[in-house]
Amino acid sequence: MTDRSCAQDSAQAVQVLGARFMLDRTTFGRGVEIGLPKSMASYVMGRMGVIGDISAQEATDAAWCINFDMINENWVDDLSPSAAGALYAQICVEQGRTYLEGFAGAARLAELAGRIADAADDTDAALFAGWRDADRPDDAEGLAYLLVQVVRELRFCRHAAAARAAGASPVSLVQAKNGGSNVGIFGWADSADQPADPQTVADIETATEAASALDHAVLNDDEQAEYVGLVSAALAHAEAQN
């Protein structure tokens, strides 16, 4: 297995598994219980707040694909971003324990994902760095899930950097992805921008894969194959919990 194929073959499972807690209704309810704001604000402040006590504009810069107005209207004044980030990371761990309960490969997945995360360059990757530096739990299940989410944010930051380098606007790329299904969710419903052209999208994907390949180079060939198998198995395990 090559560095690039490891990055490519693990990307979908990492994306889906890492995002699972963000889309889970339990997360929103738990957030209110422990002090996060309701609804979208818990996601916005929680996901971005791991960076630290940043402004709405700084959060927008890190989020890249989300409209400033969407972030600003969900940037509440009575909770510090860093506190929101810590609470959201706590929920990530809690949900991960539930998703991966009984998963025999949790400890090894945590080890391999942790090596990817801890060796990665965090230049121009503030969101990744914030998640990487979140408090890590002692249990294998919670730790494995948190580190999958960290690696997910790492790839996102590589993708955002590639898009910026290509000169693509956030809304143009959002429109070009998944038929533009996330345009409204990310606050771009009123934008007149057109989708990025297919060649630009392809070039951004190629650059993302190249950067992500470097991140996975810390593992040897056998470890890369093991990692791909483990993260895929972890996703299947989590989905079977429903």
Q: Is residue 117 assigned to a domain?
A: yes
The whole domain housing 61 covers 3-153+220-240
Residue 168 C-beta-side C-alpha neighbours within 13 Å: 28
| pLDDT higher than 80, residue 192 | no
Query: Radius of gyration over alpha carbons of the chain, in Å?
Result: 17
Write down the pLDDT at residue 178.
Answer: 66
**Residue (of 82, 27, 26) closest to 59 by Cα position:** 82
C-alpha separations of 229 from 112, 117, 220, 232 in Å: 12, 18, 14, 5
166 falls within a domain: no
Instruction: For residue 180, tell me if it sits in a domain.
Output: no
Predicted confidence band of residue 193 (pLDDT cuts 50, 70, 90): confident
Classify residue 140: in a domain, yes or no. yes
Closest CA to 23 of 171, 157, 185: 185
Domains identified in the chain, total number: 1
**Does residue 180 register a pLDDT over 70?**
no
Q: What percent of the chain has pLDDT over 90?
A: 85
Asked if residue 32 belongs to a domain, the reply is yes
What crossing angle do the helices spanning 140-166 and 221-240 adopt, rounded to 10°? 110
For residue 179, is pLDDT > 80? no
pLDDT per residue as tens digits for the range 11-42: 999 999 999 999 999 999 999 999 999 889 99
239 vs 174, residue with greater confidence? 239
Question: Is 235 contained in some domain?
Answer: yes
Tell me, yes or no, whether 160 lies in a domain. no
Domain assignment of residue 196, yes or no: no
- Over the stretch 204-219, which tens digit does the pLDDT of each residue have? 999 999 999 999 999 9
- Among the ranges given (62-71, 87-96, 147-156), the one the predictor scored with the smallest mean pLDDT: 62-71
